[in-house]
Amino acid sequence: MGGPEDDPPPALEVTVRRLKLDSAEDKALCATFSCGSEEWEVQVSDFITRKLWLPGRDAEHTLLAVEAGSGLMFGFGATKVTTVELPQRPDPVPIVRVCYFGVASAFKGAVDTDGRKWASRLYTTVEADARSRAPSPDVPFELFCDRRNERGLRFWTDTKRGFEVIGAAYGDLLRLVRMPPDTAGVAAAAQ
């Protein structure tokens, strides 16, 4: 009873802040980020370590999460407001796209000082930030997730986040949407 294997993972204190593209410190912090070795994890890591920093690209709004004790980057979320076609909608609609969301492999499953999972808490912060820039508070949210990423699909389709798979996108990616409450049946009808 009560051995070390029964202890919860140590609680983390994490600070979430906006990434600054003109900051050498932020670039250095992101340079070593890795959320794993699976193909989809490598693609997410490549975004924050390389693609985001390419000159002349239209940058997403990106938030970084940094673990206070170690100064290591815990994770990040990148979003943008765009316009897309959605099933059963006659015209294109504005949406918030979650372009990339990643948690460093060393921190997967980590909890904060209140016992909440940091991936969940980070996404809640990323979504609130994105919603503050959206044209209205009830825009749909969209993201793409690799069909082989079982952990990611469980995270996004959990009732806390409420995304629904509405079909294949391209390659191994699935398209997920969370509609505002008054139109949530649109995603279900598209399946």
CATH assignment of the domain containing 49: 3.40.630.30
Position 109 scores a pLDDT of 87
Q: In which band, very low, low, confident or very high, does the pLDDT at 186 lie, cut at 50, 70 and 90?
A: very low
Tokens of 172: 């191994």
Q: In which band, very low, low, confident or very high, does the pLDDT at 191 lie, cut at 50, 70 and 90?
A: very low
Is the pLDDT assigned to residue 78 strictly greater than 70?
A: yes
Is the pLDDT assigned to residue 17 strictly greater than 70?
A: yes
Q: What are phi and psi of 40, to 5 degrees?
A: -70, -35
Tokens of 130: 């994105």
Is the pLDDT assigned to residue 40 strictly greater than 70?
A: yes
Q: What residues make up the domain containing 85? A: 4-190
Q: What are phi and psi of 8, to 5 degrees?
A: -70, 160
- Classify residue 64 by burial, with Cβ atoms within 10 Å: 0-12, 13-18, 19+: buried
Is the pLDDT assigned to residue 33 strictly greater than 60?
A: yes
Dihedral, CA of residue 82, residue 85, residue 89 and residue 90, to nearest 10: 110
Lowest mean pLDDT among 44-48, 113-117, 140-144, 154-158: 113-117
Q: In which band, very low, low, confident or very high, does the pLDDT at 83 lie, cut at 50, 70 and 90?
A: very high
Position 7 scores a pLDDT of 54
Q: How far is Cα 38 from Cα 149, in angstroms, rounded to an integer? A: 9
Longest dimension (CA), the chain: 60
- Classify residue 65 by burial, with Cβ atoms within 10 Å: 0-12, 13-18, 19+: buried
Average per-residue pLDDT for the chain: 87
Q: How far is Cα 116 from Cα 37, in angstroms, rounded to an integer? A: 26
Helix (H) or strand (E) run with residue 68 in it = none
Position 9 scores a pLDDT of 55
Point out which residues pair with 18 in neighbouring strands: 63
Tokens of 124: 């809640």
- β-bridge pairing 61-67 and 14-18: antiparallel
Is the pLDDT assigned to residue 112 strictly greater than 70?
A: yes
Lowest mean pLDDT among 29-38, 56-65, 96-105: 56-65
What is the residue whose two structure tokens read 């983390």?
Answer: 12
Is the pLDDT assigned to residue 115 strictly greater than 90?
A: no
Q: In which band, very low, low, confident or very high, does the pLDDT at 52 lie, cut at 50, 70 and 90?
A: very high
Q: What global pTM score does this model have?
A: 0.85
Point out which residues pair with 93 in neighbouring strands: 84
Count: domains in the chain: 1
